[in-house]
Amino acid sequence: MSEINRRSFLEMVGLVGGGAALYQVMTSMGMAQASAPKPLKLEGSGQGKTVLILGAGLAGMASAHELRKAGYDVQILEYNARAGGRCWTLRGGDEYTELGGFKQRCEFAPGLYINPGPWRIPYHHYAYMNYAREFGIKLEVFPQVNYNAYIHRKSGTKVRLREPMADMQGHVSELLAKAAAGGNALGSEVSAQDRERLLEALRGWGFLDKDYRYSKSLATSAVRGYEEDPGARLQPGVPSTPINLQTILSERLWADLTTGMLYEFQSTIFEPVGGMDAMARAFESRVKPMITYRARVTELSQNADGVTAVYEDLAGGGTKTVKADYCICTIPLSILSQVKLNVGQELEQAINKVPYAPSFKAGVQYKRRFWEQDDTIFGGISYTDLPIQTISYPANNYLSNGKGVVLGAYMFGPDAVRFSGMDPKARLQEVVRQNAQIHPQAEKEFDNGISVGWHRVPWTLGCYGLYTEETRKTDYPVLCARHNRLMLAGEHTSYWNGWQEGALLAAITAVEEMHKFAMQS
């Protein structure tokens, strides 16, 4: 099953069976087991042994942090002039140059930022939580589901998330109640006693009246929202009119209701206060003396005695060679496949078989927080079938005056490639134009913005490792295995693709395995 098909399948499971059914399916697929609940503890000392780590993203720095605690002599080679990899935050004054030479400067107001890479942390990502606790990183809640945000369609339909949520639940409950009441289509699947229980459950779950109908009323409005909200004293509220089932189905309004049901998006979800790079900065402050920045690895080889890397010093120092007893390589496969390798044919073939997903994000600064002031949307995500796909609202500084930054677009696939192919100015113009189809205030209130097309990012050439059912079966085990003195680590050696948790778990397991091998040596 491809990554895209897998997600669609899981969304349908969640819609039909709810969170419990979804968790069971994900567990059977190897996706929902709890990650490392306890911090890593290594027995034995690595004193006198050297480890070379390639890449100072979270996987590389976590590996260095743990190995240093065990006494190893660690050196990290990092392509960029900063650490963190895809754990990246753009703030006012930052500059970024992508492939093709497009250079952008972030002009956000002080205190505002956008996270071009990871932007959410599920509560069950224990490795991340353990390090956040160890480093004292402050977290705030990220509202994945905001029922007052919008679902928008190119046809012009724009509804609050709560409306089709309640209406889909109500209409389907009414249909099932009719079948249950008449015994129709249920046959021997449901006993007479369970049929009565089912009817009782459907009446409550689907907000049905005494005749098991889902209709316009104060009771259904208490779920889907009112035409006019209840007021003081004698104003009970004016009921709203449900969306008919045909519209929900023809406009596919149900499709955006399932995201919050997925295990990876269930509450509580967090983000670090002040920007996602808080974890990267915490690691970097601890391992910075080990990092050689602006080092582009061009060759990697190993033999029975150790590992050798050749790198170009991009600061003007020419070509250099470094050797170590062991190596943990966290370079993305999209980049590693371009490095001259002599690490074993099986591993080299597997490295070449995994493409990286194209993805595009745009951070847009507006002159005022109109989504709060005009639309009463505080955090969360609006969904659309326009190419921009989502608008995510800031989960902090609520009710503040002045400017605000939204994630104005987050897309994958062909649309991501198309937008990334535009020059940065044209990208922002189109993002804001599409934002304005959901929020008409957008074009008037636009201030500035910045965008990142991930397959044009020189040091990763894509968003995350994209596996198929076949490559998961044949190549993934090879990529995860230790190859003598070399192991790979990163989100691509995890089932948590594209998540920081995947990078951290991959680092922890690589360190455990390499340490075990070193102790046996």
Residue ranges of the binding site for substrate = 120
Buried b / exposed e across 355-377, counting CB within 10 Å, b at 16+? bbbbbbbbbbbbebbbbbeebeb
CB-neighbour burial class of residue 41 (10 A; exposed 0-12, middle 13-18, buried 19+)? exposed
Contact between 352 and 340 under an 8 Å Cβ cutoff? The reply is: no
DSSP string, 47-73: TT-EEEEE--BHHHHHHHHHHHHTT-E
- State both tokens at 60: 């590389």
3-state helix, strand, coil in the chain (%, to 5): 40, 20, 40
For residue 39, CA distances in Å to 52, 130, 134, 269, 274 come to 22, 6, 9, 21, 25
- Which contacts (CB < 8 Å, 24+ apart) does range 343-350 have? 343/300, 343/301, 343/302, 343/483, 343/486, 344/483, 344/484, 346/478, 346/483, 347/478, 347/479, 347/483, 347/486, 349/475, 350/474, 350/475, 350/476, 350/478, 350/479
Show binding-site residues: 117-120, 297, 491
Q: What residues contact residue 39 under an 8 Å CB cut-off, 6+ apart?
A: 130, 134
DSSP 439: -
**What is the Cα–Cα distance from 504 to 496, expressed in whole angstroms?**
10
Show binding-site residues for FAD: 117-120, 297, 491
Question: How far does Cα 485 stand from its chain's mean position?
Answer: 32
- Between the two ends of the chain, the Cα-to-Cα distance in Å is 40
- State both tokens at 77: 């080679």
CB-neighbour burial class of residue 353 (10 A; exposed 0-12, middle 13-18, buried 19+)? middle
Of the candidates 287, 279, 297, the one whose C-alpha atom is nearest the C-alpha of residue 340 is: 297
| CB atoms near residue 340 (< 10 Å) | 10
Of the candidates 154, 381, 379, 145, the one whose C-alpha atom is nearest the C-alpha of residue 267 is: 145
**Angle, in degrees to the nearest 10, between helices 192-205 and 162-182:** 160
**What is the Cα–Cα distance from 321 to 299, expressed in whole angstroms?**
9
Q: Tell me, what amino acid is at 135?
A: F
Locate tokens 């994209």: which residue?
466
* β-pair type (326-329, 486-488): parallel
